Chain A
Amino acid sequence: MTPFGYVRAADRIDAVARAGTGARFLGGGTNLVDLLRQNVEQANELVDVSRLDGAIRESDGGGLLIDASVRNAALAAHPLVRRRYPVLARALLAGASAQIRNMATVGGNILQRTRCMYFYDVDGARCNKRQPGTGCDALGGFNRYHAILGASDQCVATHPSDMCVALAMLDAVIHLSGPDGARSVPLTDFHVLPNATPHVETVLNAGELITGVELPPPSDAITHSEYRKVRDRSSYAFALISVAGGLALADGRVTEARIALGGVAAKPWRATRAETALVGKAPTRDAILAAIHEELVGARPLSGNAFKIGLAERTVVAVLAALAGARA
């Protein structure tokens, strides 16, 4: 670990002003401290934003405003989140462990980096994300956990967040503040696919800080939503496949479907094709399977993860069929 300074930001303006060259914002540290210790990343200064105001409040439009420094555990336990956005509470609780959820912030969760083991293996592996142009050892290596959608011949890493899969499904908006002012970006546009530049993971500009996340008012398909995570052990493991799903019905037919997938791509994958295919249909298992199949026809599995296509299909069917059954 290279030496670095540490300073606590007094407020957001102070934080942005301090974000000079080589400085990094520090949230809970659950990912960044590890990356610094492994020498995957280096910093000359950490600007601690984890103690900035962390409020959760209703927005004027009936949605929810969540400050970036809110801890994952506090967000999952919040009464409004549990009642109106159950998919978000369950996704948060599916992630990491209770200890890590007490530390990790919302902003840090969005910016956490892939858990691809070749990305972490500084001394032993080639990685275009860590060191552009060196190659990708995951392509011909152990790629059971890697992407089936949106990958490139440069990088097949997945985004590890559970929370972000729920945020993608909810049409959450990320609020940013930087040297050039404030702006907002839909979460589904915030992370980018690897293409030829896998080291570029988001649309965040240099020195920009995530200040908060805004959720829309809860529609019927949002209040009736669930998150299911499939992994190699039943707790405290990253997803092989995860599904955030929500369903609204009228007269036995789907009026609104919301589906996002985790563990399949470098970003949380909003399954818009599947959603469109389901609207107007009766939510039978066959109809759900046909819809998600339409989303996954473009999937390109690697040597070790072809199983993910069927697993994603079955998990989507399980989640949506359960939601339909509960509403019947």
Chain B
Amino acid sequence: MSIRVNGTEVSPPDDARVSLLDLLREHLHLTGTKKGCDQGACGACTVLLDGNRVLSCLTLAVQAEGSYVRTIEGVADEGGDLHMLQQAFIEHDGLQCGYCTPGQICSAIAMAEELRRGDPSYVTLDIAAGPPGVTRAEIRERMSGNLCRCGAHNGIVEAIEDMLAETLA
């Protein structure tokens, strides 16, 4: 069984200790996915595994066998046009150093799907009913697994609001 990374079939590593993050960066040279803490505390390494956002630092690459991994390199369309969220990050200054940005963008793309499904969050008042729509409080709670040490959070939330306004409308 292989791992599909942005449409390309890749062999799993021989050494079971290799994380999905190290497979992407060191073996496949897809360095868009960033290594921040390497212990599940910062979200910089967030990728999409079969459509769900996960931390590639705490995923063993062998666990991804048979799955589809989408990284920041696979987010823009094939013609090279940026994903609407990438464009929105630029327009809203959703970054300064940019180190957390690939993780933020992968995370927010999956978050939009979770909102579309009506999944509740910790700040959703009525757990059974689900989220009351897109609020800044919901976005901030749902994105809390992605830290930004530059403090670009306001721009990040605005960029995500832009994307959600277009995709959830």
Chain A interfacial positions (CB closer than 8 Å to B): 1, 3-6, 26, 28-30, 33-34, 36-38, 46, 48, 50, 73, 76-77, 79, 82-83, 86, 89-90, 93-94, 96-100, 102-103, 229, 235-236
Contact = CB atoms under 8 A, between A and B. Distances in A.
Interface stretch (B48-56, B69-77, B84-92, B151-159): B48-56
Interface in B13-52: 15-17, 19, 38-40, 43, 46, 49, 52
A43 B140 CA distance: 38
Nearest to B107: A99
A4 B110 CA distance: 32
A73 B120 CA distance: 10
Contacts of A34: 39-40, 58
Contacts, number: 97
Contact of A33 (B53, B58, B140): B58
Interface of B: 15-17, 19, 38-40, 43, 46, 49, 52-55, 58-60, 62-63, 107, 110-111, 114, 117, 119-122, 124, 127-128, 130, 140-142, 144-146
A70 to B, nearest CB: 14
Nearest to B1: A8
Nearest to A77: B119
Contact of A82 (B39, B54, B127): B127
A50 B63 contact: yes
Contact of B17 (A1, A38, A100, A229): A1
A98 B145 contact: yes
A82 B120 contact: yes
A73 B130 CA distance: 14
Contacts of A38: 39
Contact of B145 (A26, A90, A236): A236
B63 A48 contact: yes
A102 B128 contact: no
Contacts of A48: 63
B152 to A, nearest CB: 17
28 contacts: A1-B17, A3-B15, A3-B16, A4-B17, A6-B60, A30-B55, A33-B19, A34-B58, A36-B17, A37-B38, A46-B16, A50-B63, A73-B119, A76-B120, A77-B119, A79-B128, A82-B128, A82-B130, A86-B127, A97-B145, A97-B146, A98-B114, A98-B142, A99-B54, A100-B58, A229-B122, A235-B140, A236-B145
| 4 A-B pairs with the lowest CB-CB distances in the bound complex, closest first | A97-B145, A235-B144, A6-B16, A93-B122
A133 B47 CA distance: 42
